[in-house]
Structure 1
Amino acid sequence: MSTSMVALLVAVVGVLGTLTSGLLAQRSAGKTKLLELQYAQHQSATDREEARRQARLEARRACYVLLNQAVRQHQAVLSKAIASLQRHDLHEYIEEVNSALKAQRDTYAQAQMVASDGVMEAANHALDRLNRLAALVRQYADGYRSESVHDDAQALDAEAQDAVDALLRRMRSDLGVTGSQPEGL
């Protein structure tokens, strides 16, 4: 091979190398840009999912606050009514009992849409006890008398208190307030 051929070959390889390096650089930049776009899409999807999770948690928290308030209000009204059993002046409490029951039912209906199964189980148990107690108070106000009605009412009130406390613990656990992992998050 002559020197001119070698020079020509070196020149061709140099030109091809120069052209190829530009193509390779462009291809590499395209891949980098594609990876950046994929990462941005992934990050955006992750951010949207976190926002949805946070919104569900906030909806649950707001619902649990309302449910707790309504259940505690209903329990407080029933406790006052029970205290008045011995004085036989329940009629002043019946409207308050019915109003508290309606508020409790409204918040329960809302809770059915956002609460976890565990919270709903605890709510059903607590509301069953409160509703049984309310029925006893209404029966007494309507004239039903029994020697054991006061004792029965106090026993039901104690059961209701325990059930309401269990409901609160369950709601706090579901929200992650007690350190345990909340359901469904």
Structure 2
Amino acid sequence: MSGATVSVIVAIVGVGGTLASAVITQVLAQRAESRRSDREEWVRIAEQRASEDQRKIDQLRSCYVQLNAHDRYYRDAMLAYAYALKSGSADAEAAELSNARRAQRDTRAEAQLVASDAVLELESRVNAHLTTAYRDLMEVAGESDPSARQVRLNQVIDLLDSIIPQQGHVRARMRLDVRATQELPDWYNPEIGLTTHHQTSHR
């Protein structure tokens, strides 16, 4: 093989090597760019999901704050009305009760769209007792016998007091839903949502 031929072969190999090196470099660069793009897309999707999740938690927290406040407001307004009836005139308390009942009804309507099933189930029991107490109060207001009126008012007050621990269960479940706590308290009863726990901190 002549020296010229060898030179040509060497030149061809050198050019081929250079071209192959360029191709390999380009492929590696494309793979690196693809991995970088994939990582950026994964981060973007993760951030988007986290943002959406936080938005839902914030919406739920706002709903729960209102529901908890208005359930308590409704109960307190009925209690004030009951004590006012025991004393005599209750016109001012009746107006306040009407406002509380309307606010609680509107808040429950919103909660039924966003609250968890667990919270709705527990809160519906609270609402059932509140509804019973309201019906009884309206009947007592028309009671003409003073003695019977006092007895029935005491029964309504007892019913309203019994709602306090139930509301504590609702709040415990709400706190879990909005991630304010990682677990339910020891006194929580997941089966019936009732408890004999009567600590004043639940008021």
Q: Pairwise mapping of residues 53-132 of structure 1 onto structure 2 (< 5 A)?
A: 53-132=53-132
Which residue of the other structure, out of 148, 159, 166, is the alignment partner of 2:169?
Answer: 166
**Aligned CA-pair RMSD:** 2.0
Contact 1:82 1:153 in 2 (8 A): yes
Identical positions, percent: 26
Query: How far 1:5 moved relative to its partner?
Result: 3.6
How many residue pairs get aligned? The number is 181
Q: Structure 1: which 4+ aligned runs deviate by more than 6 Å?
A: none
Q: Is 1:17 aligned to residue 17 of structure 2?
A: yes
Query: How far 1:4 moved relative to its partner?
Result: 4.2
Give CA-to-partner distance per residue, 1:30-89, whole Å, 9 cap, x none. 121122222212211111111100000000011111111111111111111222343243
CA–CA separation in structure 2 for the residues paired with 1:167 and 1:153: 21
Q: Pairwise mapping of residues 145-160 of structure 1 onto structure 2 (< 5 A)?
A: 146=148, 148-160=151-163
Q: Structure 1, unaligned stretches of length 5 or more? A: none
Aligned CA distance change for structure 1 residues 166 and 144 (closer, same or farther; 3 Å): farther
Q: Structure 2, unaligned stretches of length 5 or more? A: 185-203
Give CA-to-partner distance per residue, 1:124-164, whole Å, 9 cap, x none. 11111111111111111123653641332132112221222
- RCO comparison, higher one (Cα < 8 Å, 6+): 1
- Residue of structure 2 equivalent to 1:175: 178
- What TM-score results when the alignment is normalised by the length of structure 1? 0.88
CA–CA separation in structure 2 for the residues paired with 1:96 and 1:136: 17
